[in-house]
Amino acid sequence: MTEQRTILFADVSGSTGIIESAGDVEGRTFIAGIIAELMRITELFRGTVIKTIGDEVMSAFEEPLDSIVAAVEMQRAIQKHEPLAGIRPKIKVGLHGGTVIIEGNDVYGDVVNVAARVVSMAKGDQILSTAATLALLSEIRIPTRSLGQHTLRGREEPLQIRELLWEDDPDQLTTLAAPKEVVIETSIEVRLDASVMVISGASGDVRSLGRGEDSGFLVPDSSASRSHANIIARAGRFYLADHSTNGTYVRPLGADEMFVHRDEVLLRGIGSIRLGRAFSDPEGPTLEYRVT
């Protein structure tokens, strides 16, 4: 399936130096907190976190303006972040929009590759974007400066790169980047035979699945761990986070099954879940979910 998306990469700049100065445990915990903040801002401005890669977050936005606003808010939030071992954290952000390929919960294509190369050109505290992406916002005046034409590996045509001057802080940009109160009207229903669990997207709830009697949703199967996985409501979206021995299988309606092990996956639409067993296994129960 192809769709129009703006891809945003946000990378923690100088993470190696932070870890070397603060120590491995404290440094990595500090960076994990920054990554969590970047994910929160992505979701606040209606983006989808596609994946985290070390000290980098990859997100997708349906509306180009939302990606710009999120990028600005990310920079402002991290600029206010408390330093660690005398080092103020910095992030660099790269943006590019166009037609992408969506498969399950991942996004592929040339747009993703270009966005990754744009962020690699940025420095700490910078937001860089292709001019073509900013042209989609022609009705909104955003302060930028040209960094010239750049030939990116694998592309014949050079791309014009522009820097967003987010620190200039004109009134309009301040208004755009102000955190919004998002009205969330989503819910997820998980069903196993006569047992039903409903979670509101506005609740921020975390509900557990497993064969343990203390699980929030009991799944009586020997392949399931006592506490197998959680379903997490986060900014109107729902994530399945596996922390089991055997992993979890998720199959959205009309798509291939996905194996999730010690990781998270976004639940969309209608689908099925199996704890510790593939869908080809004739044994064991199947949970049905519906996001509305």
Mean pLDDT of the chain, nearest integer = 87
pLDDT in tens, 43-81: 888 899 999 888 899 999 998 889 998 999 999 989 888
pLDDT in tens, 159-187: 899 999 888 655 556 556 555 554 457 89
Domain boundaries, the chain: 2-177, 187-291
The answer to whether the CB of 251 falls within 8 A of the CB of 243 is: no
Which carries the bigger pLDDT value, residue 104 or residue 74?
Answer: 74
Q: What confidence score (pLDDT) does residue 49 get?
A: 92
pLDDT in tens, 251-273: 988 788 999 998 888 888 899 99
The whole-angstrom separation of Cα 60 and Cα 62 is: 7
Which of the four pLDDT bands, split at 50, 70 and 90, describes residue 277? very high
Q: What does the DSSP 8-state code read for residue 181?
A: -
Mutual angle of helices 64-79 and 24-44, in 10-degree steps: 140
CATH of 187-291, one of 3.30.565.10, 2.60.40.10, 2.60.200.20, 3.40.50.170: 2.60.200.20
Q: Taking 70 as the threshold, does the pLDDT of residue 139 lie above it?
A: no
Average pLDDT over residues 211-236: 89
The whole-angstrom separation of Cα 106 and Cα 4 is: 14
Nearest Cα residue to 128 out of 178, 170, 172, 72: 72
pLDDT in tens, 113-132: 999 999 999 999 999 999 98
Q: Taking 80 as the threshold, does the pLDDT of residue 87 lie above it?
A: yes
Task: Name the architecture of domain 2-177.
Answer: 2-Layer Sandwich (3.30)
Q: Taking 60 as the threshold, does the pLDDT of residue 213 lie above it?
A: yes
Evaluate whether 2-177 and 187-291 have a shared fold.
no
Which alpha helices (H) appear in the chain, and where do they start and end? 15-22, 24-44, 64-79, 110-121, 131-135, 171-177
Q: Taking 80 as the threshold, does the pLDDT of residue 138 lie above it?
A: no
